[in-house]
Amino acid sequence: MLTIHNIQRGFSLIEMLVALIVFSVGLLAVAGLQTVSKQANYEATQRTAASQIAYGLLEDIRVNGDAANIYLAAGELGNGSVGAEPAPNCKPGAECNAAQKAAYDLWFWEQLIDGNLETSGGAGTGGLVLPTLCIAGPPGGGAGVYQVTVAWRGSAAINNAVANPCGAASGNYGAANEFRRILQIPTYIDPVN
């Protein structure tokens, strides 16, 4: 006698739910990874901008060594502390003395760090978040190690035990400066050469 068994093959509802849960957990992990990746990319972009600003300002100090003391006297730059564009406008090719060039350079780099060279609707859009720029060097602007420090607000709290005071007293970086990011670029400059 011939018996025919009806064997059904396929997924049961429980198997389908388990597969759906595993797939959902995987998608959530990918979404979380995307968020962390975007945050890391943003932090890297901010650090790159700070680095370019610091190196650019150090090169201006090197080129205009006769006015190194003016750069040092600027103190902390950021949030419009330099004021309006100085006259004369010392763009490349303009006739300016060393002091006028230094004043223009300080104004330019502050505009850049504050994001005022890129605007949308009249507001600066291209700078760092709550930036502070500090210049340190030998007293009187002589030969020695000059250091440009750029501080800005990061997107996540970190243990920030760096002793550099640049921007630390501003209150922009959290109660314990846990959101403060800093980049320090030192270089030797001999204004006479």
**Token pair belonging to 103:** 């004043």
Are 154 and 76 in contact by the 8 Å Cβ rule? The answer is no
What's the length of the chain? 193
Which tens digits make up the pLDDT trace of 116-152?
A: 877 778 777 777 888 999 999 998 888 999 999 999 9
Closest CA to 128 of 168, 181, 164: 181
How far apart, in Å, are the Cα atoms of 137 and each of 76, 82, 126, 134? Answer: 13, 19, 28, 10
Evaluate if residue 162 carries a pLDDT over 90: no
Are 150 and 131 in contact by the 8 Å Cβ rule? The answer is yes
For range 98-125, the mean pLDDT: 86
Which tens digits make up the pLDDT trace of 52-86?
A: 999 999 999 999 989 999 999 988 888 877 788 88
